Structure 1
Amino acid sequence: MITPVSLGTWPTPVEAAPRLAARLGLAELWFKRDDLTGLGGGGNKIRKLEYTCAQAIAAGATTVITSGAPQSNHARLTAAASARLGLACVLVLAGPPAEERRGNLLLDGLAGAEVIWGGDRPLAEVVAAEAQRRSAWVIPFGGTSSVSVQGYVTCGRELRAQVPDIDGTDVVVALGSGGTMAGLVRELGAARVVGVDVGALPDPRATVAGLLDGEVEPDALRIDGSQVGAAYRTLTDGARAALETTAREAGVFLDPTYTGRAMAGLLAGSFPRGDKVVFLHSGGLPGLFGHPEL
């Protein structure tokens, strides 16, 4: 059993959003503010990194390496966690070198991470080669593993203490690498948790079920695939509308890839009028500044 390191500020708050609830036709809408986890600009990856960094330290590693898109929130927070813990950090990012350092990419550099661009090569191949060369501990894509999902079991327990009648409330979360949804399902049950797929995985249902070690059948998972759009890194019209609506009705800023798509699912009428919903805000605000198309 891995004892997690301390990286975040817990519990994160829960806030009511009555004006946005009325706009969506919901009886109640609550934000679980996991964008306010404290370290490195905040976000859901901190809960996972408390476990994956603990594994690296227990193994005697002095360097961690992970991968992601150029505006990866996970990469930013891995860089910040490494800085706090005194670990060297290598980030393997998809595609050719960016022309400008903005958004998360700027923060990666400020935290001292070394960035390696993958170009046309598969990221897993580059990560494996770099990890072997540096004797580095590899933190998986999105920080998601069967160990790190425990971070969102803990989040589910926080929700039990914070939200009246949580067992009668739907919990909506962006579904990227799958660990956030898996941990919440383990604690709150498959009937309560809805993952809005952002298009990061070829088979999100199988991935989430696999992280749960057979505890839940894939078909029992509630997954909304309506908001993927053309591709994972593409800004969808639904996400753009969700960003504006949430900012103007609740004063809360979302990100264009994850929480924007998740809120777009609510705006599209995914839930019957009168429902009670907790929206897990998984962070990503710095990524807004890496999307000039906004």
Structure 2
Amino acid sequence: MEYNNIARQSLGFFPTPLIELTRLSKELAGPEIFMKRDDNTGLALGGNKTRKLEFIIGDALAKGADTIITAGAAQSNHCRQTAAAAASLGLECHLVLGGEEPEQVSGNLLLDKIFGCHIHWAGANRKGEDIPKIVEQLTKAGRNVYVVPYGGSSELGTLAFVEAFKELESQRESINETFTHIVFASSSGGTQAGLMLGNRIFNSPYKIVGINIDKGETDKVPFDQYTISLANSTAKLINADYEFSESDLILNSDYVGEGYGVVGTLENEAIELTAQTEGILLDPVYTGRAMGGLIDMIRTGKIKKTDRVLFWHTGGAPALFAYSSDLDVTQRH
């Protein structure tokens, strides 16, 4: 495994905490549940994308970029952290966001504006379909533009989660714990691909369980195929002799519901239960859905009481403010 020669820009605070959720475990009468707190990475209220951006922005700087551009939904956590990274390094930042500009700005979008980035509204094209024409315009204007991939999910972003897995293993060994499952929100593929590769490199026995957040495809490739491809291409990048196939991927799509960003009973219960037992905030799009999936798997016996589960908190709490009308607590009197 070779990647010491790959550029990296420090952006966050690592290692992030590894804690046990004793009250949530007791409430569910289920297995022991632990949490990896990537909501505490430090950059712009935290999130797992900070890990990916350390390698991606490192590459951008090494290539002499003065401008970065990326894409996402209007409440994208990835875009918020990208905007903050750019601001901290004096880079011009452009965000291509799905939807139309709202009358009232809140949540991640508010933070994007505070960080001073340029926002381009793209309607239905929230995954970067409009980026090439904007890059062409910026290049003609004399900018040296670096495209940050959707969700930060490239080989470099995936590598960040190989490194994250290494961090987890060091923490786990220091407290003499072990896990049967690692459960997390899976949307753009890089986090899952990196954890799969890390699991293989460190010869760990964990089931790497992604809870699918989004319907559809990534780069016009079915999401499962894209994730496997990322794991394989990242292994080649670091000269790790591993190859993954469809049988290696655990991607649970049972909780997609009405689709990306549509908040229902599952997410509402998970957000409230985690907050009221552990004092920890989940977000309505990613971690709320992933935790909701974990809770259901415990209740239905898919994850047994004898298992030991790590939930990887990928951040996103700023979006709670933008989704307040979808949260059940705001409807109660």
Q: TM-score range by the shorter chain?
A: over 0.9
- Is 1:239 the counterpart of 2:272? The answer is no
**1:68–1:93 Cα contact (<8 Å) kept:** yes
**2:179–2:309 Cα contact (<8 Å) kept:** no
**2:185–2:287 Cα contact (<8 Å) kept:** yes
Q: Aligned partners of 1:257 and 1:290: how far apart in 2? A: 11
**AA of the residue aligned to 2:308:** K
Q: 1:122 to 1:43 in 2, by over 3 A?
A: closer
Structure 2 portions without partners, runs of 5+: 140-144, 234-242, 328-333
**Aligned partner of 1:179 among 190, 193, 201:** 190
- Is 1:274 the counterpart of 2:316? The answer is no
**2:179–2:307 Cα contact (<8 Å) kept:** no
**Aligned partner of 1:5 among 5, 9, 19:** 9
Q: Aligned partners of 1:235 and 1:116: how far apart in 2? A: 25
1:189-234 alpha-carbon deviations (Å, 9 max, x no partner): 4852110000154333212101011721122211111110111121
Q: What is the 5 A alignment of 1:48-197?
A: 48-120=52-124, 124-135=128-139, 136-164=145-173, 168-189=179-200, 191-197=206-212
Name the residue aligned to 2:40. 36
- Superposed CA RMSD in Å reads 1.7
1:237-268 alpha-carbon deviations (Å, 9 max, x no partner): 21111001111111111001111111111111
Shift of 1:138: 0.7
Shift of 1:166: 6.0
**AA of the residue aligned to 1:9:** F
Structure 1 portions without partners, runs of 5+: none
If you compute each CA radius of gyration, which structure gives the higher value, 1 or 2? Answer: 2
Q: Aligned partners of 1:252 and 1:286: how far apart in 2? A: 13
Please give the secondary structure, in 1, of the residue aligned with 2:58.
helix
**Aligned partner of 1:257 among 278, 282, 285:** 285
**2:12–2:42 Cα contact (<8 Å) kept:** yes
TM-score under structure 2 normalisation? Answer: 0.84
1:125-151 alpha-carbon deviations (Å, 9 max, x no partner): 421111121132111110110121111
**AA of the residue aligned to 1:197:** N
**1:152–1:180 Cα contact (<8 Å) kept:** yes
- Is 1:198 the counterpart of 2:217? The answer is no
- Number of residue pairs matched? 294
Name the residue aligned to 1:284. 316
**2:98–2:122 Cα contact (<8 Å) kept:** yes
Shift of 1:122: 6.9
**AA of the residue aligned to 2:286:** Y
TM-score under structure 1 normalisation? Answer: 0.95
Please give the secondary structure, in 1, of the residue aligned with 2:128.
helix
Please give the secondary structure, in 2, of the residue aligned with 1:148.
helix
Q: 1:2 to 1:40 in 2, by over 3 A?
A: same
**1:160–1:166 Cα contact (<8 Å) kept:** no
